[in-house]
Structure 1
């Protein structure tokens, strides 16, 4: 792993925790989460997706809901909300670097990677505790971020990872 890859693999810098305010996931978001997860699980069963790829694809619903929750949280600044909004829009958009419409659930890999890079940027100004509060996933959210960033090039290729990073860095 070269120096740039090591730098990118490090967990993000996080602000110290502040008092938490509980957020309840609206029912329509919960239904979306359940439907997306069921659709992904069906794709994995039908296509016989390997276990490693499946573990990344199954992060999509958790990451989507996390980003949607951060967009609604009053403790999250406008810039971080914009970044979360961009990532949510990328999930929803039929036009992306690896379109789900053409290759099914495997097309969620670029969405997952963009979401993780977005979270890495969000964690620079949002308390880690706020992000953890909104996380539904079974694994530690910071561990997920580090693992996806470390494996991103192998999952979708360096060219797509670079395009995803560029998309987030546009002003």
Structure 2
């Protein structure tokens, strides 16, 4: 289980690194275009293997494709830019602990469950 958690944290950090690196003028336009395409694929409801047709495989393509493309793009970006973006991403991850938001989301979910149990 630790390896899955490590993989998720690594992917999260790679996404932030790509975000900060894409703003740097030293990054080639091809890498910036691929970052935009990857972001569009992540938020798009259209998948290579639709989740409702292939229930298990629909998620596997996302779990394989997104990290592979992110790593490919990171290899296109110059190393100094990646290390600077990594520092910015690490600074953001230390700063972004928002317990208020987490408690609010948990409270809304809990209220919805209580409402559903009581009235349904």
TM-score category of the 2 structures, normalised to the smaller one: 0.5 to 0.7
- Which is higher, the Rg of structure 1 or of structure 2? 2
Distance 1:81 1:115, change over 3 A: same
TM-score normalised to the size of structure 2?
A: 0.52
Q: Unaligned stretches of 5+ in structure 2?
A: 91-120
Following the alignment from structure 1 to structure 2, what is the Cα–Cα distance between the partners of residues 51 and 106? 19
Cα distance per residue 1:89-133 (max 9 Å; x no partner): 233233335779977x9776332222112222x13xxx2111111
TM-score normalised to the size of structure 1?
A: 0.39
Following the alignment from structure 1 to structure 2, what is the Cα–Cα distance between the partners of residues 70 and 78? 11
2:7 to 56, 64, 78: 56
Which 4+ residue blocks in structure 1 deviate beyond 6 angstroms?
98-103
1:117 to 63, 66, 72: 72
CA contact (8 A) 1:70 1:84 kept: no
CA RMSD of aligned residues (A): 2.9
Distance 1:62 1:74, change over 3 A: same
Q: What number of residue pairs does the alignment pair up?
A: 83
Following the alignment from structure 1 to structure 2, what is the Cα–Cα distance between the partners of residues 100 and 55? 25
CA contact (8 A) 1:100 1:106 kept: no
More helix by share: 2
Q: What does 1:7-156 correspond to in 2, within 5 Å?
A: 50-97=1-48, 109-110=63-64, 111-120=66-75, 122-123=76-77, 127-135=78-86, 136=89
